[in-house]
Amino acid sequence: MATMKDIAEAAGISIGTVDRIIHNRGRYSEETAELVRKAMKELNYTPNIHARGLKQTKKHIFSVVLPKREQDGGYWRLVEEGILKAANELASFGNDIRIFPFDRYSSASCINALYMALSSDTEGMLIAACRPDDMRAPLEDTDLPYIFIDTNIPDLKQRTAYIGQDSRQSGILAGKLMSLLISGRASAGQDQYVLVVDPPGSNFHLYNRIEGFRYYMDAVMPEIRLITLKAEVDNESHFHSRLKEFHIKNQALPIGIFAANSSVYYIASFLEKEGDEYRSVPLVGYDIIPGRESAIEKGTIDFILTQQPEVQGYRGIIMLYDHIVLRKEVSKEVIMPLNIITRENIHTFTGYMNG
């Protein structure tokens, strides 16, 4: 790993001068600072976040296009918290992060927020591309760099990077977890099924999760039917009504339920309300939502897969800064690990709020 001494030798200056430039203190020329930047890049030297502002005189502005924080059970609030953490760290170096929220279930709201960001004096954007059909045309016409989080649109030319899960693989993992949960419940000769809840606002990302889940279940437990229940509104009472209507129509309870996003908490509250027989149905879904962990603690939700939304938001802003301000190369794809959360380990995860 390169040191300040290595930087000094490469730039032909003293260690003290390198230290002053890295920590932005004392007097030095812009020409010397440029020599240090060049040496740092060549030696792949990365100072900590508090040493990243090498004599910046320009204010850098980045935009974030993100669904409203309360939507999808509060999932986007977690993404926003990571963004704000990065924004606070970068603020002392003259950087400004502006958030343009939109209604994730409204095409007009999404397009309006994106055009507002594009028409501002931004130098780059962090975008949750959960409405890819609405976002594609405006993004094809811009020369601004942008990073996607949560959902990817891989073929756009100006896409700098993507941060998120391998959504299909996460669906396959969810299928494996479900098969383990129901293996003792499946009975030969009986018509049994797993309920797949397709949440509102489905996109490429959620579609791949469901497709991965179906792929695994069809391969491993072909005798189990998979029935899809489509929810139209991101609202807990709507989910309860749809689940109640479904049960009245079908009578027999499913032997398992898979939810493709954080709507799993809406399903959990319905099962708890309906009593012990419902509560015993295996349930798999996504994301820790602060304030709703009791469904995991009580075992109503058996498995949660988390994609670390706070980390996605934080890393997205830092990568924009590295790419635009420091002119560093950044990874084209950052695939988040697939963490599995249960009642036995939930207390070990960041974001957990006991009580």
Distance CA 239, CA 236 (A): 5
Sign of CA dihedral 79, 80, 81, 87: positive
Distance CA 149, CA 15 (A): 39
Binned at pLDDT 50, 70 and 90, residue 163 comes out as very high
Determine the pLDDT at residue 354.
43
Query: Taking 50 as the threshold, does the pLDDT of residue 55 lie above it?
Result: no
More confident position, 125 or 154 = 125
Q: Does the domain made of 4-51 have the CATH classification 3.30.160?
A: no
Binned at pLDDT 50, 70 and 90, residue 176 comes out as very high
Pick the CATH number of 60-165+309-338 from 3.40.50.2300, 2.130.10.10, 3.30.40.230, 1.10.3720.10: 3.40.50.2300
Distance CA 290, CA 63 (A): 26
CA 181 → CA 215, 288, 331, 339, 355, distances in Å? 17, 20, 37, 17, 27
Determine the pLDDT at residue 290.
84
Structure tokens that stand for 183 in this block: 């293996």
CB neighbours (10 Å) of residue 308? 24
Binned at pLDDT 50, 70 and 90, residue 53 comes out as very low
Determine the pLDDT at residue 186.
66
Domain with CATH 3.40.50.2300 in the chain: 60-165+309-338, 167-306
Determine the pLDDT at residue 51.
47
Beta sheet of 60-67, edge-to-edge order:
95-102, 60-67, 124-127, 146-149, 159-164, 333-335
Domain with CATH 1.10.260 in the chain: 4-51
pLDDT tens-digit map of 303-336: 999 988 999 999 999 999 999 998 888 999 999 9
How high is the mean pLDDT of the chain?
A: 88
Superfamily classification of domain 167-306: Response regulator (3.40.50.2300)
CB neighbours (10 Å) of residue 297? 15
Binned at pLDDT 50, 70 and 90, residue 202 comes out as low
Distance CA 119, CA 190 (A): 59
CA 210 → CA 6, 111, 191, 303, distances in Å? 51, 26, 22, 16
Distance CA 258, CA 337 (A): 20
Helix or strand holding residue 86 (H, E):
helix 75-91
Query: Taking 60 as the threshold, does the pLDDT of residue 56 lie above it?
Result: no
Q: Is the pTM of this model over 0.85?
A: no
